[in-house]
Structure formats: C-alpha cells, structure tokens
A = this chain, B = another copy of it.
Amino acid sequence: MKQSQRQFPPDSVGLVQPQTLHCDQPLLLANGRQLDGYDLVFETYGQLNRDKTNAVLICHALSGNHHAAGFHTAEDQKPGWWDNYIGPGKPIDTDHFFVVSPNNIGGCHGSTGPRSINPQTGKPWGADFPNLRVRDWVETQVFLADHLGIEQWAAVIGGSLGGMQAMRWALEYPGRLRHCVAIASAMKLTAQNIAFNETARQAILSDPHFFDGDYAARDSYPKKGLSVARMIGHITYLSDDGMGQKFGRELRSGSFERGTDEPVEFEVESYLRHQGDAFSQRFDANTYLLMTKALDYFDLAREYDNDPIAAFRHARCRFLVIAFTTDWRFSPLRSREIVDALIGANRAVSYAEIDSHFGHDAFLIPNRRYSDVFRRYMLNICRESP
C-alpha cells in the first residue's frame, strides 16, 4: 500500500517523522559525570502558535520513547504508545496544542544512550553510559524547549516515570510551565517497587550473555534475562483482577485429565512469555537497567529536607493528578500523597481517581472517565490566557 492510499482515522495525527536535535554543549549530570554532547530524538504533533504558548511536553516512562502518537509508515500496524490520548479531538488535542515528545537520553530509540558510540573510545557506551537521574532528563528537555523557542510549556505531562519528570520540572523550572500533569506516578518508590526493579535487574545481570553490559562489543545480547525482567514488570503493571478477567485459568494446551502426562500450559504463561520475548527484541538491556535505577533513585523531596510540602512550595504551576484504582505499583495512595503535599503547599491541584481493571497500564488504555477528565482539564488550558 502506498502511503498516500492509507486512510488514517480522523482523530489520528497520521504520519509523523522523528527529528534529531544535537546538543554540542557539555551536560553536567547529577552524579558529577559529564556528557560532552548528545542527540535528542523527538516528534512533534500539531502546530506551534505564533505566541508559542500552546506547547505541551510529553515525558515518557520506563519503556517508552518519542513515538507517542501517529504512524511512522503507512504500513505500521500500531500507532505511538499514547495515541489513545494524543490527536485531533483527543484529550491532548493536536487541534489546539503543539505536542513535543522526546526520547530520553539513556534510551534506546535514537537519543544518545548505551547503544551510542562513546566518542572517547569509539565503541558503544554499553554499561559505561553514566547513571542518570530524572533531573538530567529535565535539563535535556530544557535544551529542547530553548531550541524550539518555547519559553513556557502550557503543560508538562507524563505517566509513571514521566510524571516524575513533570513534577521535577515544576520544582526546578517553575516559571517554564503553567500546568503539571502527573498520572499514575509517585514522589518516590516504595521498598516493594525497588525490590521488583532489583529482581528484574538481577535477571539481566545474571544472564551470561550480558558480559557486564559489554554485550554489544561481543556481538552478544542478554535476551533471556531481559525477557524475564520484562515478565516481572509486566505482571506488576497489570492487576490481579484484570489478569483474572483476561486469562483466568484458561489452558492454551494440554489437559488435566487423570492419567495424562501432556504438559499443561495456561494462557497467561504463554502470553507473558510472548510479552517478554517481544520486548527483549526491541529494547536495550543497559537502558532497562538505567531507567529502573532512575525510577528507584527519584525522591522528589530529598533535597528539600524530605519535606514534600516545602518542595512543592517551589512550584508555581497548577497540577492535575490522576491515579487508577487497581494500580498497585503506583497506587492511588502515592497520588494522594502528592495531592496532600500540594494542598499543604497551597498549590492548585485537581485529583481524579479512576476506576479501572488495568492496573498501572491503565494510563495507556482507553477509559471513559479518565478521557473525559483529562480532556476537560486540557480544554480549560486552551481557554486560559497565559
């Protein structure tokens, strides 16, 4: 099929093309190391208005990238990861907003990361790529905003790890955003969350094809370790209820007949293995380690005497906080802590707790109330004068 023949849905942004911005200024990282320069791949959807007041920044989560909406080719079966919520007439309405969606550095989809060539050695960075913290991403996003001439975002928006970036923007660059939308996020991870991340990392680190992160140079890849890591993650992004409704105890093959030795396979097992396999083919193991560490390390109020209220007093924007009832990895409790701290800091915050069976993944999935609340909040942003 020729691209011109493909009919995209009317609420799709249609064909999109990534751009690359090169930064040749050194970036001093939170951990003291320095990147001499970096590439930032990003996509944009919609039109920047003359006053440059309608720009929205999308911050992605652990396994996300810059391709948040639309299609790269007419043959693409799947649109970008947040296509349910970005497009004409959708909550992040590209008829009104100019949407900017970068791939974070440290990632594996074009922005400088462990797969990139380390200019000092001429070889892929691999495990030697610096550990990043959420604030480092914010710095690169500031560079991107400057490049695009965007002095102030109408909103900085993110789910999960993306919400952490949005909140960090609100504290570090209070004058540069009018709204912060933190969805299914948290001010810091719990011990259980860190424990799941560490177990996933151990699955990767203990794969003999990992070679201490130097797998690329050895033409190897820790596929199985990354697959197990993803399986762990995937279960925890779904809810017990949701999995029960989707899979129950349905068998994919085999039987429980007495006297049969036929191996039994449950649907949920086959599904999970498929998810793990597919992910391990498209994602980079060093990036997975880096992203989970950034999640673990994030602690919004650490540098504010561990006082979230004191932290949020630095913010000047308004906030929308959204959580999902069955999300146990970033539970509504964590979102309510954000809300409570914002109220304590006398900041305007709207909070919606959405009923959903889809656990943490709910922030990606169509949901009537979520969509309505999100759309109305964003529409009001369009109507306000900056």
* CB-defined contacts of A225 to chain B, threshold 8 Å: 206
Q: Contact: A206 with B194, CB < 8 Å?
A: no
- List B contacts of A202 (CB < 8 A): 224, 227-228, 231, 273, 276
Give which listed residue, B189, B244, B259, B264, contacts A190 with CB less than 8 A: B244
| A192 contact set on B, CB distance < 8 A | 235, 238-240, 243-244
With a cutoff of 8 Å between Cβ atoms, the chain B residues found around residue A207 in the complex are: 206
Taken residue by residue from 29 to 45, chain A's Cβ proximity to chain B (1 for < 8 Å, 0 otherwise) reads as 01111000000000000
Determine if A191 and B247 form an interchain contact, defined as CB atoms under 8 angstroms apart. Answer: yes
Question: Quick one: given A131-B261, A196-B235, A207-B206, are A243 and B31 in contact (CB under 8 Å)?
Answer: no
B249 touches A31 (CB 8 A): no
Task: Name the B residues within 8 Å of A297 (CB-CB).
Answer: 256, 264
Interface members, chain A 231-252 (any B CB < 8 Å):
231-232, 235, 238-240, 243-244, 246-249
In this assembly, does A208 line the interface, its C-beta being within 8 Å of a C-beta of chain B? yes
Among B31, B243, B258, which residue has its beta carbon within 8 angstroms of that of A195?
B243
Is A299 an interface position by the 8 A CB rule?
A: yes
A240 to B203, CA, bound (A): 21
Q: Mark A269-312, 1 if CB is under 8 A from B, else 0.
A: 10011001000000000000000000011010011000000000
Q: Is A215 part of the binding interface, using a Cβ–Cβ cutoff of 8 Å? A: no
Question: Could you tell me the distance between the alpha carbons of A183 and B33 in the complex, rounded to whole angstroms?
Answer: 53
Residue of A198, A199, A243, A276 with most chain B CB atoms under a 10 A cut-off: A199
B235 touches A272 (CB 8 A): no
Is A142 in contact with chain B by the CB < 8 A criterion? Answer: no
B191, A299: Cβ atoms closer than 8 Å: no
Query: Is there contact, CB below 8 Å, between B191 and A248?
Result: yes
Contact yes or no, A228 B199, CB < 8 A: yes
- Whether A191 pairs with B32 at a CB distance below 8 angstroms is no
When the two chains form their complex, are residues A260 and B228 in contact, meaning their CB atoms are under 8 A apart? no
Quick check: A188 and B249 within 8 Å, CB to CB? yes
A228 with B244: CB separation less than 8 A: no
Q: Which residues of B contact A249 (CB under 8 A)?
A: 188-189, 191, 194, 299
Query: Is A266 part of the contact surface with B, judged by Cβ < 8 Å?
Result: yes
Q: Is the CB of A33 within 8 A of B195?
A: no
Q: Is the CB of B266 within 8 A of A191?
A: yes
Chain B residues, CB < 8 A from A349: none
Interface assignment of A328: CB less than 8 Å from any CB of chain B: yes
Q: Mark A93-118, 1 if CB is under 8 A from B, else 0.
A: 00000000000000000000000000
* Cβ-based interface call for A268 (8 A): yes
A16 to B272, CA, bound (A): 44
Interface centre among A33, A192, A246, A268 (most CB of B within 10 A): A192
Q: Given A195-B235, A240-B190, A243-B192, are A259 and B228 neighbors across the interface (CB < 8 Å)? A: no
Q: Could you jot down 20 A-B contacts, CB within 8 Å?
A: A30-B258, A31-B261, A32-B258, A188-B249, A191-B240, A192-B243, A195-B243, A195-B268, A195-B272, A202-B224, A202-B228, A203-B203, A203-B228, A206-B207, A206-B225, A206-B228, A208-B208, A228-B228, A240-B328, A256-B302
Kindly list 8 other residue pairs between chains A and B, CB separation below 8 angstroms, not including A191-B248, A192-B235, A232-B232.
A30-B259, A192-B238, A194-B269, A198-B231, A199-B228, A199-B232, A202-B227, A328-B328
A-side residues, CB < 8 A to B, are: 30-33, 130-131, 188-192, 194-196, 198-199, 202-203, 206-208, 224-225, 227-228, 231-232, 235, 238-240, 243-244, 246-249, 256, 258-261, 264, 266, 268-269, 272-273, 276, 296-297, 299, 302-303, 328
Closest 4 CB pairs of A and B: A206-B224, A32-B259, A191-B243, A191-B247
